[in-house]
Chains A and B, each alone.
Chain A
Amino acid sequence: MEPPLLLDPSLVASATHGVAFQMGIYIEISTRPATLVIDRCGVLRYARRVTSFSNRPAPEEVLRIATGNVPPAPPERR
């Protein structure tokens, strides 16, 4: 089963996360590719916002951060 897909037609979620309308793509609107982790307490623990659609973090790395069993990530380079 695919992960749930949430629709953000007004781009308020992507704008809040700093990834709205920042890439050209051959569809009408788009966002920068980004992967974020929020812990159980609702704190943002990881954010990787990139400029290439092929630049994605390793799934294991992201999921380990989500479990809370790794030290905090260094400051994000943007």
Chain B
Amino acid sequence: MNALKGANEEIREFAAQTLSFLATHAPRDSLLALLESDANPTVRLYAADGLGAAGHGAALAERLEALRTLESDRDVKKHIGYTLSRGATGVDPRVLADLAGFEPSRIDSARVGEPAPKIDLESYSGGRVRLSDLRRVAPVVLVFLYGDTRPVCHGQLVQLRQAIAENPAFADIRVFAIDPHERVAARFLLGVGTGE
């Protein structure tokens, strides 16, 4: 909270982002005060995220609706909406468990020429995928998506699939797409992307 009182906007934005990650431990009234009156929209956005992650959306619904009406920044408006839609639920306990077990030194640790970091994720179609299980079986291409935009995000996967189908030399390569958002994944696979 002290870092948010400084004059350096980058530090203030980073502090607000960190606070949103730690939302369940952040004081509700401090987050609300940031959302109500901070001049920096990025700080307001993360304050809204923090309130949502901690499940304050239901108790503060009336106040948040009023703030959303007054809010001038389009992104902050949307994130207040996410906070309202989370209601009293807050962050999924599975996400909190993942974060509790995450060693910060792993952040940005993937380097070309070095052993790839372990990946162990749930597949949208069911089951878990551990990339270590594929070693010595197949080379792997990982595509971190940006969203459900067509034709670009979806198009990259379609082009990879076509190139693999057309060239026997690529036949054993495994491609995985990774996205944080189940809602995006669903729209993506149903082929109803935004078209942007």
Do A and B pair up? The answer is yes
Residues of A within 8 A of B110 (CB): 16-18, 36, 44, 47
Using an 8 Å CB-CB cutoff, how does the interface string of B155-195 with A read, 1 for contact, 0 for none? 11101111110010110010111111111110011000000
Contact of B112 among A2, A11, A45, A59 (CB under 8 A): A45
Contact of A44 among B98, B111, B136, B145 (CB under 8 A): B111
Q: Which 6 A-B pairs have the closest CB atoms?
A: A18-B108, A10-B98, A3-B175, A53-B146, A6-B121, A66-B139
11 A-B contacts (beta carbon < 8 Å): A5-B188, A6-B122, A15-B106, A16-B119, A27-B184, A33-B145, A40-B138, A43-B113, A43-B114, A44-B112, A53-B149
A26 to B106, CA, bound (A): 27
Interface of B is mostly: mixed
The number of chain A residues touching the other chain, given as a range, is 35 or more
A12 to B140, CA, bound (A): 19
Q: Please judge, given known A-B contacts A14-B178, A42-B135, A47-B112, whether A66 and B125 are in contact too, CB under 8 Å.
A: no
Please tell me if the beta carbons of B125 and A46 are within 8 angstroms of each other in the complex.
no
Residues of A within 8 A of B157 (CB): 2-3
Interface of A is mostly: loop
A16 to chain B minimum Cβ distance, whole angstroms, is: 5
The number of chain B residues touching the other chain, given as a range, is 35 or more
Residues of B within 8 A of A76 (CB): 112
A46 to B142, CA, bound (A): 10
Please tell me if the beta carbons of B163 and A59 are within 8 angstroms of each other in the complex.
yes
Further pairs besides A5-B176, A18-B110, A68-B139: 9, Cβ < 8 Å: A3-B160, A7-B185, A14-B144, A20-B180, A27-B181, A33-B145, A38-B142, A44-B114, A53-B149
B144 to chain A minimum Cβ distance, whole angstroms, is: 4
B196 to chain A minimum Cβ distance, whole angstroms, is: 8
Question: Which A19-76 residues have C-beta < 8 A from chain B?
Answer: 19-21, 23-47, 53-54, 56, 59-60, 62-63, 66-69, 72-73, 75-76
Q: Which residue among A33, A68, A69 has the maximum number of chain B CB atoms within 10 Å of its CB? A: A33
A76 to B117, CA, bound (A): 17
Q: Residues of A with Cβ closer than 8 Å to B? A: 1-21, 23-47, 53-54, 56, 59-60, 62-63, 66-69, 72-73, 75-76
Contact of B141 among A26, A37, A53 (CB under 8 A): A37
Residue in chain A with minimal CB distance to B142:
A36
A32 to B143, CA, bound (A): 10
